[in-house]
Amino acid sequence: MGLNSERIGRDNLSFILRRVHVVGPQSRSDLTSLLGLNRTTIGSLVRQLESRSLVEEQQMSSSGLPGRPSHVVRVRSDAHLVLALEIQVDSMAVGLFGLGGSLVRSRRIASDPREVGPDETIAQLLGAAREFITDDDRDRIVGVGVGVVGLVRSVDGVVRLGPNLGWTDVPLGAMVRSGLGLDVNVRVGNEADLGGLAEYLRGAARGIDDAIYVSGEVGLGGGIIVKGQLLAGAHGFAGEIGHAVVNPTGMRCACGATGCWETEVGEQALLRAAGITADGNPRRAVNQILEAAASGQPVARAAVEHVGRWLGIGLSSFVNAFNPGVVVFGGLFGRLEPLVEGIVWEELERRALLACRENLAIRPGRYGIDAALYGAAELAFEPLLADPTLAPARGPQSAGSSGRRKTSVVANR
Ligand SMILES: [Zn+2]
């Protein structure tokens, strides 16, 4: 096979695997018309993916109609796994996922990165991961994805700045790579970008190719999807909408500037609006405010509405700039959304251009606090989806296999 036809073959394998991974089971005839190839070629491509334990085929004969039986191709979610890791401001998580976005299991634990610093935080994360995966899992892991609340440089997975973690220039990708001892790709992405990716591929923004994901906890992260792709910028730092200035006479932000959007809508803003100084457990205080607001308690209600108003004020600029089909609220904002939907719309109607907002939908996210963990799994599968021949072949088709594992540290948004 020449180099060119080898590449075309790989691209076709990639198309089929990505399609069944993201969209779900496909009939052979769907694939035939999608790829514009004949049935024999599709059959051969599917067999190659089967030989690498990436897909399986089922014969569907239930229609009772005459003619050739239909074959349905679906992912095998058990043979190849990815490890997803996540670092937030007050917790960290580990998860194992199979193809098709299927969660095997996950675990979230409390943490305090600000208190213990980056080295200890990453050591805790790696310790949790090592404890979490069994020997059997280890043999099946084909990639690692890491989500972190900070600005991640695409080329090497360095966290240039994590304002709410207190991190500057932390080589997270390299540290995870060397600390885990798994000879697989490690990719690092920004937490809100990965949350946006998960909500776009399988969640509240599914099927809408222009979307904005706005995730709030301590800070505010944004993931912007343009024509089905995450907006990365020149070096991977795009989407930092939480640091857009909305109130120049407002509060000082963790990034050093004054009046960033996140200073008006993050957890601290909600607590401040409710007149609460929660040093011990801000998350519990936030939960109490949300519950009280839902039951109509006036002070909590006013605090939630204050945050909702600033959410709408900030959002109007991004609706004008990106004309999204959907805005998905994740994390704290996902829980806030039902309480503040009317106020957010009030501000959008006052400030966003009619043409930019007239077909807009606003929804809470599907994945809640775990959105970035699901997105990290997608990031970790990306090398295999791009080149399914990275999975080892068995049987007669193993000749020419490029082997299962490719070693590199790649960061991505
Ligand atoms: Zn800021």
Say how many Å lie between the CA of residue 219 and the centre of ligand 1: 9
Q: Which long-range contacts (CB under 8 A, 24 or more apart) does 340-344 make?
A: 340/304, 340/305, 340/307, 340/308, 340/309, 340/311, 340/312, 343/305, 343/308, 343/309, 343/311, 343/312, 344/308, 344/311, 344/312, 344/315
What pLDDT does 265 receive? 95
Say how many Å lie between the CA of residue 183 and the centre of ligand 1: 37
106 CB neighbour count, 10 Å cutoff = 17
Say how many Å lie between the CA of residue 242 and the centre of ligand 1: 7
- How far is the C-alpha of 14 from the C-alpha of 100, rounded, in Å? 14
What pLDDT does 228 receive? 96
Q: What is the mean pLDDT of each run of 10 residues along the chain (413 residues)?
A: 78 97 95 93 96 92 62 95 96 97 96 94 97 95 97 94 95 96 94 98 97 93 96 94 95 94 93 84 88 95 96 97 98 92 97 97 96 98 96 60 43 44
What pLDDT does 67 receive? 61
What pLDDT does 217 receive? 85
Say how many Å lie between the CA of residue 229 and the centre of ligand 1: 25
What pLDDT does 62 receive? 55
- How far is the C-alpha of 413 from the C-alpha of 406, rounded, in Å? 20
What pLDDT does 158 receive? 97
Say how many Å lie between the CA of residue 125 and the centre of ligand 1: 26
CA terminus-to-terminus distance, the chain: 34
